[in-house]
Amino acid sequence: MTQLVLLLLFDAVLLITLLGLALAAVLSPEPRRAVMLFIAFGLWLALVWARLHAPDVALAEAAIGAGLGGALMLAAARRAARARRQDAEAEP
């Protein structure tokens, strides 16, 4: 009984934080920060899948969604920042 209540509380915390992270990631103005939040969101979503007794989906989510996707997006953000800076230097 107590365990059930505690697990329910756990789920509530998990859900609220997940929604907050998603909103923050979507609404953040700066690309690098958005990518960081996306990585955290991937980790969190993997936890949710684990809680739902789906370890295989959690594995895929952690590896692809957060790990590889995050690294690739970090590289993309770097190139975007560099291109913008070069444009700004060429402009004046």
Partner 1 sequence: MALILLLSMSAGLVRVVIGPTPADRMMAAQLLGTSGIATLLLLAVALDVPALLDVALIFALLAAVSVAAFTRRRAGADRA
Partner 2 sequence: MELILHSVAAVFVAAGAAFFVTGTVGLLRLPDLFTRLHALTKADNMGLGLIMVGLILYKPDPFYAVKLVLLWVLVMVAGATGSHLIAKRALRRDGEDLQ
**What are the phi and psi torsion angles at 53 (to 5°)?**
60, 35
The two three-digit tokens of residue 87, written as one number: 């444009």
- Can you give the binding site for partner 1, defined by CB under 8 A? 3, 6-7, 9-10, 13-14, 17, 20-21, 24, 28, 32-33, 36-37, 39-40, 43-44, 46-47, 50-51, 53, 55-56, 58-59, 62-63, 66-68, 70-71, 74-75, 77-78, 81-82, 85
Q: How far apart are CA 21 and CA 24, in angstroms?
A: 5
84 contacts which partner out of partner 2, partner 1, none, CB within 5 to 8 A by kind?
Answer: partner 2
Q: How far apart are CA 1 and CA 8, in angstroms?
A: 11
Residues in binding contact with partner 2, number by CB under 8 A: 4
